[in-house]
Structure 1
Amino acid sequence: MGRPAFPHIPWHGPDSGACSPRVLGINPWITDFAAFNVWSRPAGLLACLDMLRRSGATVALLDCLDPTWETRPDLGLKWPAPGKYGTGHYPKEEIEPPAPLAFMDRRYSRYGLPREQVKEALAALDPIPDAVLVTTIMTYWYPGALDVLDICAELWPDVPRFLGGTYATLCGEHAARHADAHLQQGPLEAPANWAAFWQLIDFDAPQPPANAGLSLALDLYADPVYSLVLGSRGCPFSCEYCASHALYPRFDQGTPNAVMETIQSEYERGVRDFAFYDDALLVNPDRWLWPVLDALPETCPGIRLHTPNAMHVRHLTPEVCTRLKAAGLVTVRLGLETTDFDHRHDVKLTRDQWEAGARNLLDAGFDLDDVGVYILFGLPGQDLSNVEQAVRHVRSYGFRPHLAHYTPIPGSPMFETACQASPYPLADEPLCQNNSIWPCVPGGFNWDEAKRWKLLLQGIGE
């Protein structure tokens, strides 16, 4: 299935009628100083559209971060060619930074589909929706969500609009003041949210379908070059810098049959690159992960698996590493945080566990280029010399260090500490939660320091 011609947005599901609402989901643009596509998909929105369709609704998707239509250079729709394993750049348009970020000496851009084409495509949507769901992936990307909500309000003033995702859930007071929409805070399948949604669009609420929240409407993407795997939602751990529990309080795991059906369906459409979106991929692997990985080499030969969300190193036993390698894992990301093992903010990891996990990966046959290690940078009160030590430590193993720039997230245990350490109004203005400004680093973002860290990551000048 190729991409449709501009400006077509297709509906999927039963024929619309009195008992079948039409629900349009929109993943808005990124507005930021930098953005790169690392197998990005709006998993929460796709879960919502899936459960609504399986409850009788007709659904459509407009993802402003996907090359939705066939390439039309004359319309400004040319999308950069995909890079390694389907990752790559977004098209972008430089825009004025919002007032709270005007102090930054960096270019600010809107990333994704051109705004006027999005507006034209929405205006051409026929029939019009009975409800619009807009998601937000990062709190500080809310300008794109507010913009697309305004477009929908202009086109269809009487159609209920819903704003969900990270910004709506974690910055509810700010969103209530600025968004012309009903706030969808937390999972749609939660009983109160489910009942309220159907009531607001004036339809009787059916029972939520089985596997709600874990089944995704991935088929709404035409001609995808990558896809995602979601075997669980939530996280059993409570890292101080993370708001996973505020976003999804439980830790739910799916079934191997459901996960395999999703992978096989996407594989049959030509997809070969799959990214795991699980926050705790290696927890209780017998539940779904091992049956799936054991089946993949025969059922989906040539598949390539990626773990952009860091795996927990302490779970990387020789058996785990061998099974991951045999199943087709090619992109390994690990969460080290720091080599100050006595003062950690995440799941407890000892030096012995780190060294054993690293050794087990190499013994299983992973190349050094396959393995990237996230090191937290910019925590409130952090001694950055410890970050330098961690970078050199990772490089001594031959792995590639990556700075995971700290984002102050409302709802995380560390957020109050971040508010006290930062000169910016983190609690009042989500734009100031942007990790690009180094919100908790004394002095904030600095080009000279950014260059120094880049060279250090590359091992230049040591």
Structure 2
Amino acid sequence: MQILLVNPPIYDFTCYDYWLKPLGLLYVASFLRKNGVSFDFFDFMDRRSPFLERKNKSRFLSTGKFRKEDAIKKEIFDWFKRPYFRYGVSKEKFLDFISNKSYDYVFITSMMTYWYEGIEEVIESVKKKNPNAKTIVGGVYAKLLPEHAKNLGCDFVFSGNVENLYQFLKDNTDIDVKKSFKVEELVPSYDLYKELESAAVLTQVGCPYRCSYCAVSILHNGFYSLPFENILKQLDLLESLNVKDITFYDDALLFKKEKHFLPLFEKIIEKNYSFRFNFSNGLHTRFIEKDVVDIFKKINLGMLSLSIETVSKDILTKTGNKTNLDEIEKALDLLLKNGFDGRKIFCYILVGLPDERMEDVINTAKYLKEKRVRIVLNEFTPVPKTDFYNRYENIITDPLLTNKSVFPSYYKYSEEEVQNLKNLVRSFNRETKKYYERV
């Protein structure tokens, strides 16, 4: 029995490696190992891949540029002026890798629903070299758009989580798995990488919130924390692999912090790990209090991010009341008064929300500029099965149109307006950088 796990290439207008890792696929790898099933592993998006002829140097906190090549845009993008690219290890290298193999099953993971072209490429390559191989597509895209995934030419679509994998394989394959495992019994198989600078860690599954633009509560059944023992095992493995930077993929890391974040990080601090800690999934400003700030001061902090989204009271209410202006103000003031460098405080704001005006976005950016923190624009895109997606379903004829670079210009703003906004934010961030260089 020969099995291959694949993280596919990405087709997009822009793509940068902010600690992007196929965490779900690494959990699948751990599941297979625990069942005594051997497999090969190929990650197109590994910036340190041995299949890359030239490796781009890492930049800020082990982030960096992916290898890229020009790609042909589909007709649906003819109106959009920006160039299109294929990111990751070349198709030829993958074909060479599988040419002398005879795989029985190929597992292909997925992330953004508008990245399906990379999955399509892998399926075509596998069918070309291993026509008898059965392809299984899983991951976020497979869960949100299973019918669309079936039309890519794969043999199976797995729309569950790792807890459901045992039964799926028993029902659909002859892979000899003997036992089911829960997430808390598994540790992502990061040792599959030959060279690893950064990694993503999960300490909780799901999210307690139901934001109208987010699909996390749809992707996961409920919300729960992983045992501290499991989390420390994840970190122990990463320490043994000499990882420099880790980030947390949790969507509500500070929720009920007295039971989770605070005691967990006291244990982490005791372990005296050598890597930098990054919090790239926006933290809730509501929970940024002195006890959390004290933890940040004790660790080797690389960066932290805050889910600001907007300072418009009306839009904050419509998106779920996750925070308010008073909480945003309190969180930022607490961090800055405790000596944190504003360049390391990434404040996410959303562009293109329903009922939003460009004036709202600019006002939010101006507010953050005065706070002297780093402003990060996140283009809104409707995610399938969310409340906001239902508002635009009739104009989304292809998942490609929900690309974050495209959608705000497709239904709301012109390309020029979006570009002018980006230029404005860049100028604000330059001013903030100059301020900290002077003080």
Pairwise mapping of residues 139-218 of structure 1 onto structure 2 (< 5 A)? 139-190=113-164, 193-211=165-183, 215-218=187-190
Gaps of 5+ in 1: 1-20
Tell me whether 1:289 sits opposite 2:292 in the alignment: no
Q: Following the alignment from structure 2 to structure 1, what is the Cα–Cα distance between the partners of residues 104 and 429?
A: 56
For 2:437, the equivalent position in structure 1 comes to: none
Tell me whether 1:109 sits opposite 2:109 in the alignment: no
Q: Following the alignment from structure 1 to structure 2, what is the Cα–Cα distance between the partners of residues 182 and 271?
A: 35
For 1:437, the equivalent position in structure 2 comes to: 406
Shift of 1:25: 1.2
Pairwise mapping of residues 30-429 of structure 1 onto structure 2 (< 5 A)? 30-67=10-47, 69-70=49-50, 77-125=53-101, 128-190=102-164, 193-211=165-183, 215-344=187-316, 345-419=319-393, 425-426=395-396, 428-429=397-398
Shift of 1:265: 1.6
3-state SS of 2:16 partner = coil
Q: Following the alignment from structure 2 to structure 1, what is the Cα–Cα distance between the partners of residues 379 and 25?
A: 25
Shift of 1:347: 4.1
Q: Following the alignment from structure 2 to structure 1, what is the Cα–Cα distance between the partners of residues 88 and 355?
A: 35
3-state SS of 2:15 partner = coil
Q: Following the alignment from structure 1 to structure 2, what is the Cα–Cα distance between the partners of residues 356 and 151?
A: 53
- Deviation per CA, 1:11-57: give whole Å up to 9, x if none: xxxxxxxxxx5432111011001110000001111111111211221
Contact 1:378 1:441 in 2 (8 A): no
3-state SS of 1:34 partner = coil
- Deviation per CA, 1:65-94: give whole Å up to 9, x if none: 0045447xxxx6202111111101011010
Contact 1:437 1:444 in 2 (8 A): no
- Deviation per CA, 1:408-454: give whole Å up to 9, x if none: 1101111111336xxxx41x311111111134664655146403432
Contact 1:28 1:135 in 2 (8 A): yes
Change beyond 3 A, Cα 1:333–1:69: closer
Shift of 1:162: 0.4
3-state SS of 1:189 partner = helix
Contact 2:104 2:132 in 1 (8 A): no
Q: Following the alignment from structure 1 to structure 2, what is the Cα–Cα distance between the partners of residues 179 and 168?
A: 13
Contact 1:338 1:387 in 2 (8 A): yes
Amino acid at match of 2:37: A
Contact 1:337 1:346 in 2 (8 A): no
Q: Following the alignment from structure 1 to structure 2, what is the Cα–Cα distance between the partners of residues 458 and 214?
A: 45
Shift of 1:288: 4.5
Amino acid at match of 1:265: L
Q: Following the alignment from structure 1 to structure 2, what is the Cα–Cα distance between the partners of residues 265 and 188?
A: 20
Shift of 1:129: 3.5
Amino acid at match of 2:75: A
Tell me the TM-score normalised to structure 1 length: 0.87
Tell me the TM-score normalised to structure 2 length: 0.91
For 1:12, the equivalent position in structure 2 comes to: none
- Deviation per CA, 1:189-244: give whole Å up to 9, x if none: 22xx5312233221454221243586311111111011121111211100000011
- Deviation per CA, 1:332-366: give whole Å up to 9, x if none: 11001110124311443122211111122223432
Q: Following the alignment from structure 1 to structure 2, what is the Cα–Cα distance between the partners of residues 369 and 120?
A: 43
Structure number having the greater helix percentage: 2
**More moved, 279-288 vs 372-381:** 279-288
RMSD: 2.3
**More moved, 283-292 vs 41-50:** 283-292
For 1:15, the equivalent position in structure 2 comes to: none
3-state SS of 2:346 partner = strand
Q: Following the alignment from structure 1 to structure 2, what is the Cα–Cα distance between the partners of residues 209 and 215?
A: 11
For 1:455, the equivalent position in structure 2 comes to: 424
For 2:436, the equivalent position in structure 1 comes to: none
Change beyond 3 A, Cα 1:352–1:447: closer
3-state SS of 2:40 partner = strand
Q: Following the alignment from structure 2 to structure 1, what is the Cα–Cα distance between the partners of residues 40 and 96?
A: 16
Gaps of 5+ in 2: 432-439
Contact 1:408 1:433 in 2 (8 A): yes
**More moved, 441-450 vs 247-256:** 441-450
Shift of 1:460: 8.6
Q: Following the alignment from structure 1 to structure 2, what is the Cα–Cα distance between the partners of residues 441 and 374?
A: 22
- Deviation per CA, 1:157-209: give whole Å up to 9, x if none: 2222100112211112222222323001131322xx53122332214542212
- Deviation per CA, 1:391-420: give whole Å up to 9, x if none: 101111111111110111101111111336
Q: Following the alignment from structure 1 to structure 2, what is the Cα–Cα distance between the partners of residues 155 and 212?
A: 37
Amino acid at match of 1:113: V
Q: Following the alignment from structure 1 to structure 2, what is the Cα–Cα distance between the partners of residues 272 and 443?
A: 40
Contact 2:184 2:226 in 1 (8 A): no
